[in-house]
Amino acid sequence: MSGYNFQEISAFTGIFMVFFLALFLLTVKTIYKLSNRLLAFFLFLNAIDGIKFLMREFPVNYINLEAFRWTFVYLVPASFYLYVLSVCYSNFRLKSKHLLHTIPFAAYSIYMILGIYMVDRPAKILFLNKMNDMPLMQFFQFLFELLFQVYFIASFLVIKKARTVYLENYTNPNISALDALKKITILYYALHFIVLSRWLVTFVFGLGEIRSWIVMLDGFAFLFCTCWYLFVALHNPEFFRGVHSDLKPISDTVPVQKKNIKNKTSETKVN
Q: What is the CATH number of the domain that holds 228?
A: 1.20.1070
Please enumerate in sequence order all residues whose Cβ is within 8 A of that of 149, keeping only pairs 6 or more positions apart, or say none. none
Q: What's the domain count of the chain?
A: 1
Domain range holding 48? 3-270
Helix spans in 51-134 (H): 63-72, 76-88, 103-112, 121-130
Cβ pair 219, 53 in contact under 8 A:
yes
Q: Tens digits of per-residue pLDDT, 182-216? A: 888 888 888 777 777 776 766 666 666 676 677 66
pLDDT in tens, 92-114: 889 999 999 999 999 999 999 99
Q: Which long-range contacts (CB under 8 A, 24 or more apart) does 231-237 make?
A: 232/180, 232/183, 232/184, 233/180, 235/180, 236/176, 236/177, 236/180
